[in-house]
Amino acid sequence: MGDTQPRRKRGSLSTSEIVGAAMSILDTEGPSALTFTRLGRELRSSPTAVYRHYASRQDLIVAVAEHLDFLSLENYSATDDWRHDLTQLAWRAWDVASEHPAAASIAMGLITNGVHELSAVEAVLRAITQAGLRGRQAVIHYQAYANLVLGAAMAQGARLAEGLYTSKDVFTQVYTLSNPTQWPNAEALKEDLRVVDYSEVFRRQIKMFVDALELAVARQDA
């Protein structure tokens, strides 16, 4: 039997509905399924109606990125503890990537210039300046933090979306060394290399950043 449900009324489609449908498709079918034709079917509308709001697939993915920023900041409240805030913001991004891996894998590192992205930028800068960094050093450390968090979150999304995990956080990789003497360190550590808990790696990365930021503040003050 064909689809007998009527198409929606012309002009009734909103950007929030389109982004919601895009998120649903990404969550259930993956990045390759996100097309305007597929969106039209999901929304009971025509692909042309989607094009009226987003001129290209890339424009739509930028809107998805802005939605991911919204999810990351939902109910977030800054505190007077910059270490806590930077750590919390990082884990919020990681958790959103884990919940919406396909979307994160293609969108999380994009610049949107939207209100939610700017709110995220403001939250990170607030924490960094609260720590004591000023001027160019604050900007450099902000960018280092953004690259670290968003890069790790996108990678987390890609691993989950591609089904590479044996469980939610544990990734198995096997290095077959044809000549172990050529790579003695990889051979010695191959069992530890075989199973990687990326949430543990991410936790260590964030701690290293926070510790390095404290050192940068001390050097600046000196």
> Domain coordinates of the chain in residue numbers?
1-55, 56-221
Look up the CATH architecture of domain 56-221.
Orthogonal Bundle (1.10)
Q: Evaluate if residue 167 carries a pLDDT over 70.
A: no
Q: Do domains 1-55 and 56-221 have the same CATH topology?
A: no
Q: Which residue has the higher pLDDT, 123 or 162?
A: 123
Q: Helix, strand or coil for residue 44? A: coil
Helix 82-99 and helix 135-161: axis angle, to 10°? 30
Enumerate the β-bridge partners of residue 171.
165, 196
Q: Helix, strand or coil for residue 33? A: helix
SS (H, E, C) 152-173: HHHHHHHHHHCCCECCCCEEEC
Helix 57-73 and helix 15-29: axis angle, to 10°? 90
Which pLDDT score is estimated for 171?
63
1-55 folds as: Arc Repressor Mutant, subunit A (1.10.10)
Q: Environment class of residue 169 by beta-carbon count within 10 Å: exposed (0-12), middle (13-18) or buried (19+)?
A: middle
Judge contact between 86 and 94, C-beta under 8 A.
Answer: no
What percentage of the chain carries pLDDT values higher than 70?
A: 89
Which pLDDT score is estimated for 196?
79
What percentage of the chain carries pLDDT values higher than 90?
A: 72
